[in-house]
Structure 1
Amino acid sequence: MTELMSNPDVWLAVGEIILIDILLGGDNAVVIALACRKLPEAQRNKAILGGALGAILLRIVLIFFALELLMLPYLKLVGALLLIWIGIKLMLPEDEGEHADLKASPKLLGAIWTIIVADALMSLDNVVAVAGASHGQLELVIFGIVVSIPIIIWGSKLVLRLMERFPIVIKLGAALLGWIAGGMAVTDISLPALPSWAYYIAGITGALVVVAVGGSLARYQQNRTLRSKDA
């Protein structure tokens, strides 16, 4: 374990996992707030803690299965394509009414259950991204998630403000997902052995594709919104 933690590549992977969880965890913070809004003040912290712990355990289980599936031929290629789309989607304007139908429960257990279920339904992007960044090491996944969940819960407002104030953070995060997607694609077991430089070329290509396509689609959506307001 000491040998593992002294490896700089391990800390790079942990940093990627934490960043992914923060970037893709904004929705989770919104869900937690909405699910707890009908609870008495004294019970809100219990609901947040219980829901977060349940969500952590469930996400670790989902990522374990994702890691196993990524060992099958062609599934890393599929995961890479999905990850590129997730990166592109991260750069698009948010849908303000996305969580409008989420029901808040006036009971503690009901609120905890709402948080866990909503997190499970929203975790596909997070699961795929973290599985790709972990390079098959579940202990890195667990460490990264345990570190990032408190940041998401208690620091979500600060993180969201930083993202709004410095849009470059979103772009860098999307590029990171593209980088992971490229690296994931060239390590699929269905492909022949490739030279080490192919990993970096694929990562750079994935990052450029995500930023270019995501930026173009974001500008298109913004222009369309402006035209509809002027009409």
Structure 2
Amino acid sequence: MMELLTSPEAWAALLTLTALEIVLGIDNVIFISVIVSRIPEHQAKQARQIGLALALVFRILLLSVLVWLIGLTQPVITVKDLAFSWRDIILIGGGMFLIAKATHEIHAEVEAREAENDDKPKASAFFWVIMQIIVVDMVFSLDSIITAIGMAEDIEIMVAAVVIACFVMYVSSGPVSKFVADHPTTKMLALAFLVLIGVALVADGFQFHIPRGYIYFAMLFAAAVELFNVLARRNRRKVAR
């Protein structure tokens, strides 16, 4: 352990891996921000805390079964010329779940059916939100930990990077969720991001890797355009007053 603390290579690996884990965690934060927007604020905060705590637990559990996880990349099913591992199957299933969920939410927004009335009980909605967060946490945890395995050799570095990244996700999830709730158009943009992320996961499952740099650039560009729209609307309101 002391050798790792005094090793420049270990610190460089920790910083690089932490940055990658934070970037990979953006997807998770976006999903949680969107999914909790349909429940009351006090429950939304609790759901975010539970979701991010589960994200940390899933990542550390996956790290603790490192050997088994590496085995997930071995083919278990072959269809014609394509061989699928458990990792591929999980990524395809998770990607399809994201696409279906985001499409359903977009349809609800376009139809202007603000789901259930506020006076209806929300207990079942809260439970359903937590179940969805668990499913997506498992998918994103798998992708995140496989990245960690490829980037670092020491499990201590992997665990440290995952803990730091989850802390950053926890700190940023509140402001992101509030911004999405306060600006309805950004919710539609976030849902479009989820469709894009789901397509990327399905493509990965079919061994067609879409470079994440392209995806994150597209998301960043769209987010920048939306930010200018939000600022323009705010300025118009000030002028109107």
Normalising by structure 2, what TM-score? 0.48
Aligned length: 149
Contact 1:66–1:128 (CA under 8 A) maintained in structure 2: no
> Does 1:113 find its partner at 2:131?
yes
Aligned to 2:150: 132
Cα gap change, 1:2 to 1:48, in 2 (>3 Å): same
- Map Cα deviations across residues 40-81 of structure 1 (whole Å, 9 max, x no partner): 111222111111111211122223334555489x99xxxxxx
CA distance in 2, matches of 1:106, 1:55: 23
CA distance in 2, matches of 1:96, 1:110: 17
Aligned to 1:155: 172
SS of match in other structure, 2:38 = coil
Contact 1:21–1:126 (CA under 8 A) maintained in structure 2: yes
- Greater mean alpha carbon deviation, residues 31-40 or residues 120-129: 120-129
Aligned to 2:29: 29
CA distance in 2, matches of 1:141, 1:31: 24
CA RMSD, Structure 1 to Structure 2 (Å): 4.2
Could you tell me the percent identity over the aligned residues?
26
CA distance in 2, matches of 1:109, 1:69: 29
Aligned to 1:141: 158
For residue 124 of structure 1, report the CA deviation from its aligned partner.
3.3
Unaligned residue ranges in structure 2 (runs of 5+): 76-86, 88-97, 109-114, 116-120, 177-209, 219-241
Aligned to 1:14: 14
Correspondence 1:52-91 to 2 at 5 A: 52-70=52-70
> Does 1:99 find its partner at 2:117?
no
For residue 130 of structure 1, report the CA deviation from its aligned partner.
0.9
Unaligned residue ranges in structure 1 (runs of 5+): 76-81, 83-94, 159-209, 220-231
Cα gap change, 1:2 to 1:66, in 2 (>3 Å): closer
Contact 1:21–1:145 (CA under 8 A) maintained in structure 2: yes
Contact 1:18–1:145 (CA under 8 A) maintained in structure 2: yes
Cα gap change, 1:149 to 1:128, in 2 (>3 Å): same
Cα gap change, 1:214 to 1:13, in 2 (>3 Å): closer
Paired AA for residue 43 in structure 1: Q
Aligned to 1:178: none
SS of match in other structure, 2:39 = coil
